[in-house]
Amino acid sequence: MLLRPGQSTKQCSRTVGKKIRLVFKFIIKRLGISALVMLAASVILFILTINAGDPLGDLRESTSPNRQNLIDRRIAVMHLNDPWYTRYFAWLGGASKCFVGACDFGTNFRGQRVNDLLVDAMGSSLRLVFLSTIFAIVLGVFFGVMTAIRQYSGFDYVVTFISFAFFSLPSFVFAVLLKEYGAIKFNDWLEDPTISFATTVLFAAIFALFAQSLVGGDLRRRAGAGAGAFLFALVALVVISSTKWFLSPQLGWGFIAVVSIASAVLFVSLFCGLSNRRALASALGSSAMSLVIFLAASGSLWQPTWGLLFGLLLAAILAGVVIGFAFGGYAKRSVVWANVWTACATFLAVFANYMAEYWADYTKVVGDRPVPTVGAGTPNFEGGEIFWLNVIDTATHLLLPTISLTLISFASYTRYTRSSMLEVLGQDYIRTARSKGLPERTVITRHAFRNAMIPITTIVATDFANLIGGAVITESIFGWQGMGALFRSGLDAVDPMPVMAFFTVTGTAAIVMNMVADILYAYIDPRIRR
């Protein structure tokens, strides 16, 4: 326990106890208000759902000889002869059991337990939403920071245009375009994966423009970066087209080594600066150790388990931490972080390499159309006994809906990060740091970036909950049997039980994540704690 000057241990304990009581009081107050809001909203939603149509409409139009028996059974299952408030309190009684870990959301109109349906739907939706949130945060924050640093540059204008386009484009329109061009047209192209010379030059030019705008600097520097990027992209695309690389992609350990070394250099430049030779040597040593760890286990990686993969990742991270503390010099903390991210990048390169090795086999199994348009997995998948084929099957089914949800959130993260970063860069302490001669990298990463992320914290926490509820349209378009499908099935059948289960999960997630956001905000920003 750290004491302030002139502060006794007893006074410090009282201060800590007071802060704990305030936090506890805040949590109780928020939970109480949220519970009342949830209760009122549940009543309104229940009434709206049961009055949204005729739950017996499909049976009334049926020509089945036992139609009346089917009608009587549905009436009994859904308790349609009971008043709405009786049905509501029956649901509320089952939902209240969640406080003791024994939720009971009743049965749907077919007599299926909603609990079982909810568990399966939550697993699918959370997997999709989690990946989308991670990608949106990483990409949105990165491009937001870069546009703030390159304010009013061509790069800034292009990213701003793309962000507003994604933000304004309806999600269902973008999802349909993804299905058409990201799956159907791409699968057709894979029959003969060659790239015309005109298309090659066009993509190389676009890549060059992006690279030179990202590098920035004077005209000579940007021209050199653009020319190098153009030649690299041109050669790469020509090789990919001539070898028909997409039919049987190969990466190899040379690719893994290049990615690992490049990651070490990149993260050292971000965390420590390339002028710190000890940090660079430590990161390169961490890269070499990660390569040794994964290479030593290469024989087992042809048919691994998730436990083995994460065990190897943990070993690479621990090796990086040890090397950072042992040889990091005066900037040990920054070196450790650079080593950790280098180990993670090496792991991702290894993961991508083995997926590429099995791509041709997967294509044959699914009938030469590897990118699916619907579902969370291939029905009756024949390669289920092979680990990497299962991974590829899951990844390809996640690809399009993840991209759709990611780009929706990407626009928000980019604009919020840019705005917050520009506000921080205009503060007096940033000008003071620059006037003291600190490197621009240090000013950006250690002073500006950390403070700019304070308001983004609330967005990150709440966006996760919002995506669960907002994934209904995306899941419907891509045939994803998640929370959206559960909600839609309840509305179509005028069945309140699946709808209320969806409401309970999304409402609870919103309450929890908003509370987490408030607590994190107060923890990160000392001004709030005062």
pLDDT digits (tens, 9 = 90+) for 101-136: 888 888 888 888 998 888 888 888 888 888 888 888
Residue given tokens 């959301």 in the structure block: 105
Statement: residue 506 has pLDDT above 50: yes
Q: Quick one: average pLDDT of 445-452?
A: 83
Helical pair 197-215 and 219-243, crossing angle rounded to 10 deg: 150
Reference 49, options 469, 473, 481, 501; nearest CA is 501
pLDDT (0 to 100) of residue 2: 46
Using 50, 70 and 90 to split pLDDT, how confident is the model at 3?
very low
Residue type, position 523, single letter: Y
The structure tokens listed for 151 are 């304010």
At residue 113, φ and ψ (nearest 5 deg) are -65, 125
Q: Quick one: average pLDDT of 76-91?
A: 91
Statement: residue 9 has pLDDT above 70: no
The structure tokens listed for 238 are 């020509």
Distance CA 98, CA 505 (A): 11
Per-residue pLDDT reduced to its tens digit, 273-330: 778 888 999 999 999 999 999 999 999 999 999 999 999 999 999 999 999 988 877 7
The structure tokens listed for 237 are 């695309």
Q: Quick one: average pLDDT of 152-162?
A: 84
Quote the percentage of the chain above a pLDDT of 90.
30
pLDDT (0 to 100) of residue 1: 44
pTM, full prediction: 0.80
Q: Quick one: average pLDDT of 333-353?
A: 93
Distance CA 468, CA 464 (A): 7
Using 50, 70 and 90 to split pLDDT, how confident is the model at 14?
low
Per-residue pLDDT reduced to its tens digit, 184-194: 999 999 888 88
Per-residue pLDDT reduced to its tens digit, 171-217: 778 888 888 988 899 999 988 888 889 999 999 999 998 888 777 67
Distance (Å) of CA 233 to CA 207, 311, 321, 356: 7, 36, 35, 20
